[in-house]
């Protein structure tokens, strides 16, 4: 027998919105199942049932912003912690990149429900995504995400000579963290002291820990791409809006 699913979970699976958005829309009477409005939280549906949303939901979703920040060292990605400022503190009119291509006026209400879709360590720099759009957050940090993240990593080898080729192959595939094998990565030398990493997962301090395992010390780490969206010329400490034609 086909199993019943929570309506909010089913809406998230279908890519309509996040679960939190789904609950809001259900309460407002903006969700239909097989053409009938369902407004009770916790309602369940079968996978074969048709779920649709009213135009008001789509209109509200279109107003939600996604912001790209070039995060500097010393800021945390999410909530403020240990006296360190969060990256969202940079999102104000005076820090907006003068070359931002989106004709959108900044307003403090855009900070509401703006969450980091992924993280960068406090001592790492580069591309950080903050979004009000649950679909984008799920796409970037959901359990089944396969979105590539690209990093430039300045390293120093702590042993005599140069990193052996076999250890470079280990960085690409063969290491384990927290008792689990890492999925294959793409790691190559960018220049004499800098590696290029492309990952499809993001365990805590993953690159630094991978490097330690083969005798490398990370001196600097910069994220330059998430999916098809590049950091580009965005200056450190500044932000811009995601363009309509940009997709991760």
Q: What is the mean pLDDT of residues 165-185?
A: 95
In a shared domain, residues 40 and 75: no
Round to whole Å and give the CA distance between 37 and 12: 18
- The answer on 184 and 121 residing in a single domain is no
Question: Over pLDDT 90: what percentage of the chain?
Answer: 68
In 3-state terms, what secondary structure has residue 21? helix
Residue 51 placed within a domain: yes
pLDDT in tens, 25-37: 999 999 999 999 9
pLDDT (average), residues 60-73: 88
Is the domain of 50 the same as that of 101? no
**DSSP code of residue 242:** P
For residue 139, tell me if it sits in a domain: yes
Task: Assess whether 233 and 140 both reside in one domain.
Answer: yes
For the CA atoms of 101, 103, 105, 108, what is the dihedral angle to 10 degrees?
-50
Q: Are residues 40 and 97 in the same domain?
A: no
Dihedral of CA atoms 25, 138, 128, 88 in degrees, nearest 10, equals: 30
Per-residue model confidence as pLDDT tens digits over 39-50 = 999 999 999 999
Asked whether residue 34 falls in the same domain as residue 131, the answer is: no
Distance CA 190, CA 174 (A): 21
Q: Which of 121, 127, 125, 112 is nearest to 77 (CA)?
A: 121
Q: pLDDT-based confidence at 21, cuts 50/70/90?
A: confident
The domain that holds 84 is classified in CATH as 3.30.70.580
Same domain, 49 and 169: no
- Burial per residue of 90-104, b for 16 or more beta-carbon CB atoms within 10 angstroms, e otherwise: bbeeeebbeebeeee
- For the chain, the domain total comes to 3
Identify whether 246 is part of a domain. no
160 and 138 in one domain?
no
* Radius of gyration, alpha carbons of the chain: 21
Contact of 57 with 25, CB cutoff 8 Å: yes
Q: Domain with 196 in it: what CATH number?
A: 3.30.2350.10
Let me know whether 222 and 237 are in one domain. no
Is 122 found in the same domain as 57?
Answer: no
Any domain includes 98 = yes
Q: Which pLDDT belongs to residue 143?
A: 72
- Does any domain span residue 186? yes
Looking at the domain assignment, is residue 248 inside a domain?
Answer: no
Contact 224, 232 (CB under 8 A): no
| Residues 188-244 pLDDT 10s | 999 999 999 999 988 889 999 999 999 999 999 999 999 999 999 999 999 999 998
Structural domain of residue 206, as residue ranges?
Answer: 149-226
Let me know if residue 247 belongs to a domain: no
For residues 103 and 219, membership in a common domain is answered with no
Query: What is the predicted pLDDT for the residue at 209?
Result: 96
Higher pLDDT, 102 or 15: 102
Catalytic sites, residue numbers = 121
Residues 122 and 236 reside in one and the same domain: yes
Task: Name the one residue in this structure whose structure tokens are 């591309």.
Answer: 127
- Calpha distance 127→163 (Å, rounded): 28
CA quadruple 58, 64, 68, 72: dihedral positive or negative?
negative
Q: Evaluate if residue 2 carries a pLDDT over 90.
A: no
Per-residue pLDDT band at 1 (split at 50, 70, 90): low
């Amino acid at each position: 027998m086909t199993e019943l699913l929570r309506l909010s979970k089913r809406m998230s699976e279908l890519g309509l919105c996040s679960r939190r958005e789904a609950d809001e829309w259900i309460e407002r009477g903006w969700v239909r199942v097989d053409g009938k409005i369902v407004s009770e939280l916790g309602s369940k549906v079968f996978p074969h049932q048709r779920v649709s949303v009213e135009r008001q939901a789509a209109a509200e979703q279109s107003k939600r912003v996604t912001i790209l920040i070039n995060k500097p060292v010393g800021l945390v990605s999410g909530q403020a912690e240990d006296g360190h400022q969060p990256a969202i503190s940079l999102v104000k009119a005076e820090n907006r990149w003068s070359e931002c291509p989106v004709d959108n006026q900044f307003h403090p209400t855009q900070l509401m429900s703006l969450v980091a879709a992924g993280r960068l360590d406090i001592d790492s720099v580069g591309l950080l995504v903050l979004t009000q759009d649950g679909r984008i957050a799920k796409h970037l940090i959901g359990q089944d995400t396969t979105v590539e993240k690209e990093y430039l990593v300045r390293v120093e080898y702590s042993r005599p000579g140069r990193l052996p080729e076999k250890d470079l192959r280990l960085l690409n595939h063969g290491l384990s963290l927290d008792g689990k094998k890492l999925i294959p990565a793409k790691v190559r030398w960018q220049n004499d002291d800098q590696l290029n990493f492309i990952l499809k997962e993001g365990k805590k301090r993953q690159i630094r820990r991978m490097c330690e395992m083969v005798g490398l010390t990370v001196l600097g780490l910069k994220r330059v791409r998430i999916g098809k969206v590049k950091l580009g010329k965005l200056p450190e400490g500044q932000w811009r809006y995601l363009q309509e034609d940009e997709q991760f």
